[in-house]
């Protein structure tokens, strides 16, 4: 039963962190009401030194996703440690108290 309880604690902590992350990302993305021209389908006129050729492509590597996963796992680990460490400390104190009283 202890294992099931710990699994539930981990899942709840993970759900809370993911919920906060989801809200933060959506709040940051919907804050601007001005839609850039390239998102609305319009193409801006070329500036000096630019030409009408193929648009430049800026692609991100896959490292951003991996970093996000590691960061989220670290946050979940911190939440679990915050819950489990005080529990273990109180358990040790009770065990020491029962050993000193029984001797």
Whether 88 is covered by a domain: the verdict is yes
Host domain of residue 73: 1-28+66-103
Q: What is the mean pLDDT of each run of 10 residues along the chain (103 residues)?
A: 87 88 74 56 61 58 70 88 87 84 65
Q: Are 1 and 71 in contact (CB under 8 A)?
A: no
Whether 17 is covered by a domain: the verdict is yes
What is the count of structural domains for the chain? 1
**pTM listed for this prediction:** 0.36
**Quick one: pLDDT at residue 50?**
60
State how far the Cα of 25 lies from the Cα of 33, in Å rounded to an integer: 16
Q: Which helix (H) or strand (E) holds 23?
A: helix 2-29
Specify the DSSP class assigned to residue 62: T
Q: Go through the chain and tell me how many residues it has.
A: 103
**Quick one: pLDDT at residue 56?**
59
Whether 54 is covered by a domain: the verdict is no
């Amino acid at each position: 039963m202890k294992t099931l309880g710990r699994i539930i604690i981990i899942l709840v902590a993970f759900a809370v962190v993911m919920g906060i992350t989801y809200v933060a990302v959506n709040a940051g993305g919907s804050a601007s009401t001005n839609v850039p021209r390239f998102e609305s389908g319009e193409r801006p006129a070329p500036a000096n030194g630019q030409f009408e050729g193929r648009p430049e492509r800026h692609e991100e590597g896959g490292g951003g996703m991996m970093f996000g996963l590691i960061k989220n796992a670290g946050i979940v680990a911190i939440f679990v440690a915050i819950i489990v460490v005080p529990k273990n400390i109180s358990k040790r104190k009770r065990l020491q108290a029962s050993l000193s009283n029984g001797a």
